[in-house]
Amino acid sequence: MDDSISSANLSFLARGLTESISPSPVMQEFTSTDPASIDDRKLKEACSEFESLFIYHLLKNMRDTIPKSDLFSMKKGEEDIYNSMIDRNLAGWISSQGGVGLAAFLQRQIPLDD
């Protein structure tokens, strides 16, 4: 008995796979080649990242006002890195949940030229 797959069987399998895979509407939105939708996505992403950066600096400056404590036995550099990572992730999460409205405001204020 031959264990190899014939070319006819291989092409049948390939054709079946490609016919059964159709992009979802969500994926079609992200793979759209319409320049306007690409520009809209880029603007939305840039505004969201700017808002995330703004929130990060807001959290960092708020944390700097809190008196330091010796409760945790971390060195100064380790604590700064840890707090920076937490602030950055928290800022990204806040921004992804709607943030403080800065991204939406910026999107309305920045016109896209047609």
Each residue of 49-85: pLDDT tens digit? 999 999 999 999 999 898 877 776 677 788 889 889 9
Question: Helix count (H) and strand count (E) of the chain?
Answer: 5, 0
Distance CA 55, CA 50 (A): 9
pLDDT at 77: 80
Enter the pTM of the model. 0.63
